[in-house]
Chain A
Amino acid sequence: MYKPVWMTGVLAALVGAVPGSAQGADQDMFKFSGFGTFAAVHSSEKNADFTTNFSQPKGPGFTRSTDLGLDSRLGLQVDLRFTERFSAVVQAIAERRYDDSYDPYLNMAHLKFQALPGLAFRAGRIPYSAYLISDYQKVGYATPWARPPVEVYQFNPITFVDGVDLTWQATAGPVAFSGQVLGGSTMARVPSAAGDAKFKGDSLGSVSVAAAYGSATFRVFYLQMKGSFDSSAVDGPAGPYALLRTLPPAFGGNPALADQYQIKKDRITYISLGYNYDPGDWFVMAEAARTGGDENQLLHTTAGYVTGGYRFGAWTPYLTAGWKTTDSPTSHANPIVNAIVSGQDHAQNSVAVGLRWDFYKNLAAKAQFDRVKNATGSYGALVNIHPGFKTGETYNLATLALDFVF
């Protein structure tokens, strides 16, 4: 309970720091808002758990066939406006985390200085937006689906960067441009059977540019960072890298391979292209993303999806097709390296059909059915692999979700 108490303290301090709201200013000095989702997800795969990102230790499937925790979350946000130019925002989210707790964490906490009407600087914890909807991917109400397409959105457990950024907006005739240049570092804890495990991204820099023309938006993004995977089990004396460094060559020892495969300050790059067309009655969205870099065992993946829907009043049926391929090696002649890289293939493709119903102000209900096919030799989006699991097979997901904002 340490974290929730601390979180409440931060929010209370922020609330207490503001003497009152709307003191004749143009806009409220203090604004409290929030978002959330209650969702039930059923999986037909009995020998492994489906997850929506790699920081979750379990999901529907082996652990239990229907899971209420996978896509459910609550987010609370405080916006503060000090002057015309200075503002701040703090956002805390409670959802299933790496340790199977629901302890809230800070997803945003930054100061913003609006230097010019279309130019702002921010410092602190800033949303990370590798993909089209990354910076609001936790807000179910703001997206058409029960969850963002896993092929693109699952691999990356990071949702924020601690650093500084510059955002700009400008129009050129009918085209509205926006961009972001961001620098900082990031960290995401991931499940670990023993001890701590986290992914760290240092010396992180990214740039994005989006252009909106009428109903169409096009976005490009590039990110580079020095990635490290720090795990007390994997990096420890009984871990594979210690074995590679200490065992005699006859038993697989090879210190050069340890240096090559251990992920410590290795360059990792993300590139994505996104397109959205939304004239009102219908929408299409498509994204392609590539993860690459110098490290040798995290996935080098190429992924994408195409989605579209039609709005019949409050009802919006939609269809999504996604794919993901891996080109990192998943086997190696050295038995220790082979043990590290085997089972790291996450190639899959899927088709989802769903229906969103905007049945009441600030509330949306969704039903979605996914048919997912793992590639041969791939675990796809599944974790907790148990005996009896076969790669290359198909499983189904059925989801009911209720999204709200306030």
Chain B
Amino acid sequence: MRANGLFGILLAGTLGMAAATAQAQVVVIISTKNPISKLTADQVSQIFLGQAKTFYTGAMCEPLDQAEGSGARNEFYQKVTGKNAAQLRAHWSKLTFSGKAQPPQALAGNQAVVKMVADNPKFIGYVDKSAVDGSVKVVLAP
């Protein structure tokens, strides 16, 4: 996490504006039908790592992933949980092979996540900021 941050700063310093615009910004979204307006990084981390099965309100929740290897996914987990892709696979290996939990279902791309989250207040996802429309609301910008 720290190494990536340092790399980001060096890159930005070297390439200036080009690096800044290439850097996508991932945001966490829920349906506008969900009454929650804000979540902390801890709460979002608990949900996506399988430690919390409900929102803090007690309402059922289900996280949605993006495809493995996608930029949004890597950025989201690095920022919110501090885990890289290999650490995340090790994490889910623990839960899967001890029969405790299955990883979130993965959808292909920002649009698919926005569409699914918009329809049902139980879902929570992360997308690039540019993909957010009126059907969903941003509860965390990590």
A, B in one complex? yes
A positions within 8 Å CB-CB of B: 26-28, 31, 33, 35, 75, 77, 79, 89, 91, 108, 110, 112, 117-118, 122, 126-127, 129, 133, 135-136, 138-139, 141-142, 167, 169, 171, 174, 176, 178, 212, 214-215, 279-281, 311, 313-314, 358, 361-362, 364, 405
Secondary structure class of chain B's binding surface, majority of residues: mixed
> Given the interface contacts A142-B94, A405-B93, does A212 sit within 8 Å of B51 by beta carbon?
yes
**B90 x A141 contact (CB < 8 A):** yes
Residues of A contacting B43 with CB < 8 Å? Answer: 171
**B60 x A117 contact (CB < 8 A):** yes
Residues of A contacting B23 with CB < 8 Å? Answer: none
1/0 contact string of B99-138 vs chain A (CB within 8 Å): 1101001000000000000000000000000000000000
**Whole-angstrom distance between the alpha carbons of A169 and B95 in the complex?**
13
Residues 63 to 85 of chain B near chain A (Cβ within 8 Å):
68, 81-85
**B97 x A35 contact (CB < 8 A):** yes
**A127 x B99 contact (CB < 8 A):** yes
**Whole-angstrom distance between the alpha carbons of A346 and B46 in the complex?**
40
**A314 x B98 contact (CB < 8 A):** no
Beyond A141-B90, A212-B51, list 6 extra A-B contacts (CB 8 Å). Answer: A26-B62, A26-B105, A89-B99, A112-B99, A136-B97, A281-B82
**A176 x B90 contact (CB < 8 A):** no
**Whole-angstrom distance between the alpha carbons of A362 and B93 in the complex?**
10
Residues of A contacting B90 with CB < 8 Å? Answer: 141-142
**Whole-angstrom distance between the alpha carbons of A112 and B53 in the complex?**
16
The residue from A110, A139, A212, A314 contacting B86, defined by CB atoms under 8 A apart: A314
**B83 x A176 contact (CB < 8 A):** no
**A176 x B52 contact (CB < 8 A):** yes
**Whole-angstrom distance between the alpha carbons of A91 and B43 in the complex?**
32
A139 closest partner in B (C-beta): B97
- Is B96 in the interface zone, CB < 8 Å from A? yes
**Smallest distance from the beta carbon of B31 to chain A beta carbons, Å?**
15
Residues of A contacting B68 with CB < 8 Å? Answer: 361
**Smallest distance from the beta carbon of A345 to chain B beta carbons, Å?**
32
- Is B11 in the interface zone, CB < 8 Å from A? no
> Given the interface contacts A91-B97, A136-B93, A281-B3, does A171 sit within 8 Å of B102 by beta carbon?
no
**A117 x B54 contact (CB < 8 A):** yes
7 sampled A-B residue pairs with Cβ under 8 A? A35-B97, A79-B96, A118-B52, A133-B94, A169-B51, A171-B43, A281-B82
Residues of A contacting B2 with CB < 8 Å? Answer: 281
**Whole-angstrom distance between the alpha carbons of A343 and B94 in the complex?**
36
- Is B38 in the interface zone, CB < 8 Å from A? no
Which 10 pairs between the two chains have the least Cβ-Cβ distance? A280-B82, A135-B98, A117-B53, A176-B51, A142-B93, A358-B86, A142-B94, A136-B98, A280-B1, A89-B99
